[in-house]
C-alpha cells in the first residue's frame, strides 16, 4: 500500500512537471480534466499570500530574450505543486523525484545527443559516477562551429555535482547541467551520483563527493581540477572546499557555482522571504522540508557550516593553498534576480572573500533558479548560453592551458 502511494505521488509529479513545462498543458486549460485544481484556483489554492504578487511577477524586463519572456509568462499561469511538507516523508521524496525527473529528463537526453560524444556509468572510490566526454567543434546548440574547442584537454577534469534539493536528481538524468560546460571547455566531466536524503542525510552526500575528489587527486594535479555544481550541488561544491581544507586535501584550481543553495535556514536569508512569490521554480516549503531532511544527520542541523556553507570559514582553504605555493581557488557564482536563493549567493560570496578566496559574483537580471542549467538549457535559452560561456571562460582562465 505504501509503495503504491509512493508510486502514485511520483506519477503525479511527472504529470505536474510536464504540465509546468508545457508538454501536457491542456490538462490545466480544461476544467473537466484538471489534474490538481481548476484554472481559477491555481494560485490561491496553494499559496494565497502570493496571489497579490502575481501581477508584479508578470512585469518582465524588456532586456530578456523572447525565449526567457515566454518561459516566465507560461510559468506565471502554471499550477504550483502541493507542498511536500503536507506529505509523509517517503511520499514527499518520491513526489519531488518524479517532478524533477519529468522536468529535466527530456532536456538531459537532448543535451546528451547534441553535446556528448560518449558517457558511461561507473564507480570511483566506490561511489557511482558518470564519466562524460564532450563533442568537439560544436556550438552549445550542438551544431558544428569553429568557435568550439577542437582538442580535448586530457590533463583536466570537471567534477560536477547535480542539484535536486539534496533529495532528488541523478547524474545521468541531469546531463543538461554538465554537458554544455564540458562541450564549451573541451574538458571531460565526472558527475557524482551522491546519496540522497531523506534515506541518506548529511554527511552522506558530502562524503561521496569528497571521496571522488580525493580519488581524482591521484590522477590529476589539483590545479587541473574544476569543481562545479548547481543548486544543492552548488552548495555541496562550496562545502567540498571547506571539507578539503579540514581533511588536508589540496584545493581545486577553480569552482563554478550556479544558483547555489548555501543557506538551509530560511530565516537567515532575506530573499527566501522577499522573492518567494517571484521565483517560478522553487518554494520555501520545499527548501524548508528538504533542508530538514538533509540536515537531520548533523548535530547542528541546518546551521552546520558544512550544511549551510554560506556561513563557513574559508580562511583554511585559502591558507592551505598559500602554504602549498598556489593561489587560493577562484570561485564564480552565477545567480539570477528572480530566484529565491539570491541571498545564498550574496552571503556566500562575502564569506568567501572574507576567507581570502577570489570570488566573482555574476548576477543575471530577470533570471530564475538554475536558468543556465535548467530544462531549457543551451538548446532553448540565449541567457543559458551566455551563462555557460561565462563559466567555461572562467574555468579555462583559471586552469590555464595544458602543461607542455
Peptide bond preceding 32 in cis form (omega within 30 of 0)? no
CB count within 10 Å of CB 102 equals 23
CA–CA separation, 369 and 84 (whole Å): 19
Residue 26 near residue 35, CB atoms below 8 Å:
no
Coil, strand, or helix at residue 153?
coil
Q: Which residues are CB-neighbours of 287 under 8 A, at least 6 positions away?
A: 165, 261, 264, 266, 272, 340
Residue 376 DSSP symbol: S
Q: Which of 266, 282, 260 is nearest to 391 (CA)?
A: 260
Residue 134 DSSP symbol: E
CA–CA separation, 269 and 397 (whole Å): 32
CA–CA separation, 377 and 402 (whole Å): 28
3-state secondary structure 220-265: CCHHHEEEEEECHHHHHHHHHHHHHHHCCCCCCCEEEEECCCCCCC
Strands 189-192 and 127-134: antiparallel
Q: Is the dihedral of CA 72, 309, 233, 197 positive or negative?
A: negative
CA–CA separation, 19 and 27 (whole Å): 7
Task: Name the residue with cell 503536507.
Answer: 86
Annotated active-site residue 132? The verdict is: no
Residue 280 near residue 75, CB atoms below 8 Å:
yes
Q: Exactly one of 81, 107, 231, 345 is catalytic; which is it? A: 231
Coil, strand, or helix at residue 391?
helix
Active centre residues (catalytic): 231
Amino acid at each position: 500500500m505504501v509503495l503504491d502511494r509512493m508510486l502514485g505521488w511520483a506519477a503525479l509529479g511527472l504529470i505536474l512537471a510536464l504540465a509546468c513545462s508545457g508538454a501536457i498543458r491542456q490538462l490545466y486549460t480544461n476544467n473537466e480534466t484538471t489534474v490538481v485544481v481548476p484554472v481559477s484556483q491555481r494560485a490561491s489554492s496553494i499559496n494565497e499570500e502570493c496571489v497579490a504578487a502575481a501581477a508584479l511577477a508578470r512585469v518582465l524586463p524588456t532586456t530578456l530574450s523572447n525565449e526567457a519572456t515566454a518561459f516566465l509568462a507560461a510559468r506565471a499561469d502554471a499550477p504550483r505543486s502541493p507542498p511536500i511538507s503536507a506529505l509523509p516523508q517517503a511520499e514527499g521524496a518520491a513526489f519531488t523525484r518524479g517532478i524533477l525527473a519529468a522536468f529535466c529528463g527530456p532536456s538531459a537526453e537532448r543535451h546528451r545527443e547534441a553535446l556528448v560524444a560518449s558517457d558511461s556509468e561507473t564507480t570511483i572510490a566506490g561511489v557511482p559516477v558518470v564519466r562524460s566526454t564532450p563533442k568537439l567543434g560544436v556550438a552549445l546548440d550542438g551544431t558544428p562551429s569553429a568557435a568550439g574547442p577542437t582538442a580535448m584537454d586530457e590533463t583536466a577534469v570537471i567534477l560536477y555535482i547535480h542539484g535536486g534539493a539534496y533529495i532528488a536528481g541523478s547524474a545521468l538524468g541531469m546531463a543538461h547541467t554538465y554537458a554544455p560546460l564540458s562541450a564549451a571547455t573541451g574538458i571531460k566531466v565526472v558527475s557524482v551520483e551522491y546519496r540522497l536524503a531523506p534515506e541518506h542525510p548529511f554527511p552522506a552526500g558530502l562524503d561521496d563527493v569528497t571521496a571522488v575528489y580525493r580519488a581524482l587527486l591521484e590522477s590529476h594535479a589539483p590545479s587541473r581540477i574544476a569543481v562545479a555544481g548547481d543548486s544543492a550541488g552548488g552548495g555541496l561544491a562550496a562545502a567540498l572546499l571547506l571539507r578539503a581544507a579540514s581533511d588536508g586535501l589540496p584545493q581545486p584550481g577553480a569552482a563554478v557555482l550556479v544558483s547555489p543553495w548555501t543557506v538551509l535556514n530560511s530565516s537567515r536569508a532575506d530573499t527566501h522571504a522577499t522573492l518567494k512569490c517571484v521565483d517560478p521554480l522553487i518554494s520555501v516549503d520545499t527548501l524548508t522540508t528538504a533542508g530538514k531532511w538533509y540536515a537531520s544527520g548533523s548535530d547542528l542541523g541546518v546551521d552546520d557550516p558544512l550544511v549551510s556553507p554560506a556561513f563557513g570559514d574559508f580562511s583554511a582553504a585559502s591558507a592551505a593553498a598559500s602554504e602549498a605555493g598556489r593561489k587560493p581557488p577562484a570561485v564564480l557564482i552565477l545567480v539570477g534576480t528572480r530566484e529565491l536563493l539570491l541571498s545564498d549567493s550574496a552571503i556566500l560570496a562575502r564569506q568567501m572573500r572574507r576567507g581570502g578566496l577570489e570570488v566573482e559574483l555574476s548576477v543575471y537580471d530577470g533570471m530564475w533558479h538554475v536558468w543556465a542549467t535548467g530544462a531549457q538549457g543551451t538548446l532553448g535559452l540565449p541567457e543559458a548560453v551566455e551563462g555557460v560561456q561565462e563559466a567555461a571562460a572562467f574555468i579555462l582562465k583559471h586552469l590555464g592551458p595544458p602543461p607542455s
